A and B are shown apart, each in its own frame.
Chain A
Amino acid sequence: MKYLLFGTAFGFVLMKAEVISWFRIQEMFRFQDFHMYGIIGSAILVGIISIQIIKRLGVKDIYGNPIKLSDKDPSQIKRYLIGGSLFGFGWALTGACPGPLFALLGSGITVILVPIFFALVGTWVYGYLQPKLPH
């Protein structure tokens, strides 16, 4: 249940930040306003500081377990650049990355079910083709 509440809070913040807006994404890719860069940049800055504090002080989770932070393998450069660019195509077209797709559905934009459905198809096709793709 707590995840439902956390997700609700996250979705609400995405709405208030307006990062769910196709207009804001266009403004970002046209470098015409600082809004999106300010949000992404300050979110990362807060994230970096938090993770450094967690790592350096050895902060535990509320159950007393060590916090797991998994590293991603930077040697698979092809998957990040090719996969990332394909994702960027989709982001600029739909004006929404996965979080905003779901928040927009809640906000009553029912046609967003079309990109959500196709995102599921895309995920499945990736899973099917994975062994054949360069990584």
Chain B
Amino acid sequence: MDFLTQPWPWYVAGPVIGLFIPFLLITANKALGISSSLRHACAACVPAKVPFFDYDWKKDGSWNLLFVLGVVIGGVLGGFVFANPDPINLSQSTISDLSELGITNFNGLVPAEIFNWSFVFTLPGFIILGIGGFLVGFGARYAGGCTSGHAISGLSNLQLASLFAVIGFFTGGLIITHLIYPILF
């Protein structure tokens, strides 16, 4: 049972994530990707005659929407049923860097200082959770995929386009982490 409640080391978790690619291809002929579900949800709820959302989302997207619903259930299993009782084993240097930014609660999967409803209604909170979320959705569609579609699926299929996208992901992430976070907190 320890295997289910304890976090998995990278050399277990990484290969298991990688195996989802052949598994989905062979059992369902589908390429792993998560962010398309956001497009299908838009096409289903608010197509508004925008050509980008004018397609048969039931035919193309039902599998992806079900898959994402499953990811939520996987979160229930990992967060409640088989939850890890201990804080994440972060590197000491990350703990001291984040403490300098004012993040001092290292229990749980995410910092309680950021992920709470009252923080949303502050300027830094709106930038992190609101604008951040907007950019995840906007950027993923602009780039044609997210971490799963480009970094995992795309690079596994040796796509040059995905390498450009992943270079973009890291450029963006490094700018926020090293230039914006020191100002934001």
Residues in chain A within 8 A of chain B (CB atoms)? 1-30, 32-48, 50-51, 53-54, 59, 61-63, 65, 67-74, 76-77, 79-99, 101-112, 114-128, 130-131, 133
Contact = CB atoms under 8 A, between A and B. Distances in A.
Contact of A93 (B42, B131, B140): B131
Contacts of A50: 18-19, 21-22, 25, 156
B14 A39 contact: yes
Interface in B72-88: 72-80, 82-83, 88
Contact of B139 (A53, A68, A90): A90
A84 B143 contact: yes
Given A93-B129, A103-B72, A127-B53, 16 more contacts: A13-B17, A17-B17, A27-B91, A41-B14, A54-B22, A81-B165, A82-B143, A84-B166, A88-B174, A91-B136, A97-B35, A111-B120, A114-B120, A114-B130, A124-B53, A127-B39
Interface in B164-182: 164-178, 181
Chain B contact patch, size range: 35 or more
Interface of B: 7-8, 10-11, 13-29, 31, 34-35, 37-39, 41-42, 46, 48, 50-53, 63-64, 66-80, 82-83, 88, 90-91, 93-94, 97-98, 106, 109-111, 114-117, 119-120, 127-148, 150-162, 164-178, 181
B34 A98 contact: yes
A82 to B, nearest CB: 7
Contacts of B169: 84-85, 87-88, 91
Nearest to B29: A61
Say whether chain A's binding surface is mostly helix, strand, loop, or mixed: helix
Q: Is the interface of B mostly helix, strand, loop or mixed?
A: helix
B133 to A, nearest CB: 3
Of A2, A36, A69, A126, chain B has the most CB atoms within 10 Å of the CB of: A126
Given A17-B13, A17-B14, A29 B173 contact: yes
A45 B18 contact: yes
Contacts of B82: 12
A61 B135 contact: no
B167 A84 contact: yes
A89 to B, nearest CB: 4
Contact of A74 (B24, B79, B148, B161): B161
Contacts of B23: 6
B65 to A, nearest CB: 8
Contacts of A26: 94, 97-98, 177
